[in-house]
Amino acid sequence: MSAPRRISLVGPMGAGKTTVGRRLAELRHQTFCDSDQEIERRTGVDISYIFEKEGEAGFRQREKQAIAALLEQPGIVLASGGGAVLDADTRRLMASHSVVIYLHAGVEQQVQRTARAENRPLLQNVDRAQTLARLFEVRDPLYREIADLVVYTDGRHARALVREISDFLHSHEFVA
Ligand SMILES: Nc1ncnc2c1ncn2[C@@H]1O[C@H](COP(=O)(O)OP(=O)(O)O)[C@@H](O)[C@H]1O
Ligand SMILES: O=C(O)C1=C[C@@H](OP(=O)(O)O)[C@@H](O)[C@H](O)C1
Ligand SMILES: [Mg+2]
């Protein structure tokens, strides 16, 4: 049998990339990785601290390096950070090395799912709805640009989303 395919999950904060990615990996017996967790593992500090010390640009560099390293592993399920697609190299990397699943969430749903967002520096001390709407406008086309599948997550349970992705992967298993 050929090696399982690498899968990358993209989408906004609160779309469920980390949650759905972990469950999908479990179901498919693949290794789960999260780029934020990998950056924290490599640096020994949390995401907020990196934003504070190096700004968003510094974080994006680390994110690109982390994703490049993770995508060298065969058969991983990668949950990316919501802004990973802003970097053209990172987009190219995910598109060329993995099946890309866009977990879509409307802004209202993003707001609800990021209510406890202590470690999301872009959402600290701001109007969350306004910020998420502004980010979404810029990023939605970038998610779509590299997506092989768009999954709409509003009001849906993680297990239903995992099933939809899993069915898609099954039906496309033999496509080169
Ligand atoms: N489909 C879903 N239904 C309900 N809650 C969800 C769903 N997906 C994620 N969540 C919850 O929303 C929050 C953010 O999810 P997370 O996986 O961290 O999103 P992301 O990694 O895309 O930012 C978590 O508290 C998680 O438990
Ligand atoms: O949207 C973004 O720019 C970010 C999303 C976060 O990941 P999640 O999408 O997993 O919350 C994390 O990478 C960082 O706080 C920046
Ligand atoms: Mg996440």
Domains of the chain in sequence order? 7-171 (3.40.50.300)
Residue nearest to atom 13 of ligand 2 (CA): 81
pLDDT in tens, 12-50: 999 999 999 999 999 999 999 999 999 999 999 999 999
Taking the C-alpha atoms of residue 85 and residue 87, their distance in angstroms, rounded to an integer, is 5
- Coil vs helix vs strand at 9: strand
Residue nearest to atom 7 of ligand 2 (CA): 81
The pair of three-digit structure tokens given for residue 165, joined into one six-digit string = 């992705």
Whether the pLDDT of residue 59 is over 90: the answer is yes
Give the pLDDT score at 132.
98
Band of residue 176 on the pLDDT scale cut at 50, 70, 90 = very low
Which residue type occupies 30? Q
> pTM of the entire structure?
0.97
Q: 105: exposed, middle or buried (C-beta count within 10 Å: 0-12, 13-18, 19+)? A: buried
Is 60 annotated as a binding-site member? yes
Whether the pLDDT of residue 1 is over 60: the answer is no
Kindly state the average pLDDT of the residues 126-147: 98
